[in-house]
Amino acid sequence: MEQVQFTEENIRKLFGFEDAEGEPIERLRQYYFKNDSFEEVLSDLPLRLLVGHKGVGKSALFKVAMNEQQSQGHLTILIRPDDIAEIGEKHDTLLISINKWKFGLTSIITEKVLAQFGVSDDSFKGKIIQYGMKVTKLISDMAKPYLDEKVDFAPGKRLLVENFLKTEKVIVYLDDLDRGWQNRKEGVVMISALLNAIRDLSSINPGLSFKVSLRSDVYAAIRFEDESSDKFSGSVTWHAYSLHEIYVMLVMRVMSFLGQSINEENLKKMDQRKLSYFLEPIMDINFKGNGKWENAPIHNVILSLIRKRPRDIVKLCSLAARKARKDGARKITSAHWESVFEEFSQGVIHDTIVEYKTELADIERLIFGMKPSGKTKEASEVFNFQTAELKLKINKIIDRGAFRYANGKTASAQDLAQFLFKINFLTAWKRLDDGRIQRKYFEENNYLSSSFVDFGYNWEVHLAYRWALQPDTLEHILSRFSIVA
């Protein structure tokens, strides 16, 4: 087998893009891993809410799902932040905002569907109120004359129009609408009003179905603040991959790049040690590090560093491959991994700060305040806390200055502990009766850090953040910290 050259083009083909928008759909479908979330999103229901952390693959799922439904002849449209910029500008009261969303969505959906038909006619804007938001009826009446007049449609357009007139069915995907969202009253009203407007529109338009993606922290805030949110809680699909599924996805990417046939079901059942052999053409499958990481299987090393987010594995593997290219190597070695750990960790912290600074402006001070103190001696004490120890640590950070959320609320130590758990900086863990360690992420149970109940979990800083926070040398870190995957 010819060895792989780690050109920038090949790195993208091997490991993918960090964002699904940049990935060609043909390549994405070659390695896309369909978990239970995929089928739930495709279900023929008025509303599906796809909830998950940023970087977990919500946009990728939507992209593949849309492509699949389009290939089956369904009429689908995608609404993104730029499309609703004016609608989302100001939201004071829930009822006014719901009507604003209903009018705005009706206009956007009609315009996008007519554009797919190849029909350019904005007279529909003056008819929205007249039609009482019956968007499918409005589109139908706008399109019929063009068929009657025997308009010379572009290839395939006439069939698209004819199919719609038979079914009056439109599938609407709304993705990344919480970009720049802030956890304050207006932000909560905006998303709550959007979801209520969608429920109303799907009720009066039987052929209209909506697929909406939301970050898990946004959905949690809506559920907490909006008493009407129970009306759509039954429409939620929680989107998350297990570490094993993410590793299978990596293997599928490499195999498809190398032109090897893929049996997804067999790969899912295979243990990670065996899966690693499919990666041998591009990387060493044992890590020749120091201390507790010496001769560790490569899957343990990779999966310890990622936060159950496919985006993390793309970033980590791409960084290591670029180091290999600089060395003129055709395989990623332990030295290449070691050389990018700190850069990867810094990138994770940077991305986290950018993602959440609109909610907590002083997030950088909080994260770097979690650095080990000079008095800490034992490795087990550095990044692991019992609940009381965690609050004590955070209170010491608060002593240097209070933290306030974007909504003006002053954050207590308990609030900040919940926040660190929510952003995946902290994971919850406890030792089970059989000796195994059970770990929980925020999206798996966002009530673990509730101030009302002690669930018996301890807390640890995720390894992805430790390299940038730990001031010791790389060798010292490797000798002190166990792999946690």
pLDDT tens for each residue of 272-309:
999 999 999 999 999 987 667 788 899 999 998 998 89
pTM for this prediction? 0.86
Mean pLDDT of the chain: 86
Q: Give, for 49, the enclosing helix (H) or strand (E).
A: strand 47-52
More confident residue, 394 or 24: 394
pLDDT at 184: 75
pLDDT at 231: 79
pLDDT at 471: 58
Q: Give, for 82, the enclosing helix (H) or strand (E).
A: none
% of the chain surpassing 90 pLDDT: 48
Q: What's the mean pLDDT in 406-419? A: 90
Region of 408 on the Ramachandran plot (φ > 0 left; ψ -120 to 50 alpha; else beta):
left
Q: Which of 269-273, 275-279, 380-384 has the lowest mean pLDDT?
A: 380-384
pLDDT band at 199 (very low <50, low <70, confident <90, very high): very high
Q: Which of 14-23, 82-91, 226-235, 458-467 has the highest mean pLDDT?
A: 458-467
Is the pLDDT at 443 greater than 80, yes or no?
no
pLDDT at 151: 64
CB atoms within 10 A of CB 178: 22
3-class state of residue 404 by DSSP: strand
Is the pLDDT at 398 greater than 90, yes or no?
yes
pLDDT at 452: 47
The stretches of 72-156 forming alpha helices (DSSP H) are: 94-117, 135-148
Q: Which domains does the chain have, with CATH numbers?
A: 34-238 (3.40.50), 243-480 (no CATH)
More confident residue, 28 or 407: 28
Q: What's the mean pLDDT in 407-420? A: 91
Is the pLDDT at 424 greater than 60, yes or no?
yes
Q: How far is CA 173 from the centre of its chain?
A: 15
- Return the ∠ at Cα 377 (arms to 376 and 382), rounded to 5°: 55
The strand pair at 437-440 and 426-431 is best described as antiparallel
Q: What's the mean pLDDT in 261-275? A: 92
Is the pLDDT at 447 greater than 70, yes or no?
no
Q: What's the mean pLDDT in 263-271? A: 92
Is the pLDDT at 108 greater than 80, yes or no?
yes
**CA–CA distance from 288 to each of 293, 336, 337 (Å)?**
8, 11, 10
pLDDT at 55: 85
pLDDT in tens, 476-485: 666 665 555 5
pLDDT band at 224 (very low <50, low <70, confident <90, very high): confident
Is the pLDDT at 468 greater than 80, yes or no?
yes
Cα torsion 71, 73, 74, 76 to 10°: value is 60
Cα torsion 250, 252, 253, 256 to 10°: value is 160
Is the pLDDT at 94 greater than 90, yes or no?
no
More confident residue, 466 or 380: 466
Backbone angles phi, psi at 287, to 5 degrees: -95, 120
Look at the block and give the residue holding tokens 């660190």.
Answer: 420
Q: Which of 119-128, 408-417, 433-442 has the highest mean pLDDT?
A: 408-417
Which tokens sit at 482? 């166990």
Cα torsion 64, 68, 70, 72 to 10°: value is 180
pLDDT in tens, 166-191: 889 999 999 988 777 777 777 788 88
Cβ atoms of 109 and 172 within 8 Å: the answer is: yes
**CA–CA distance from 177 to each of 195, 199, 214, 229, 453 (Å)?**
11, 17, 7, 18, 33
Q: What's the mean pLDDT in 321-344? A: 94
Q: Which of 90-94, 150-154, 388-392 has the lowest mean pLDDT?
A: 150-154
CB atoms within 10 A of CB 258: 14
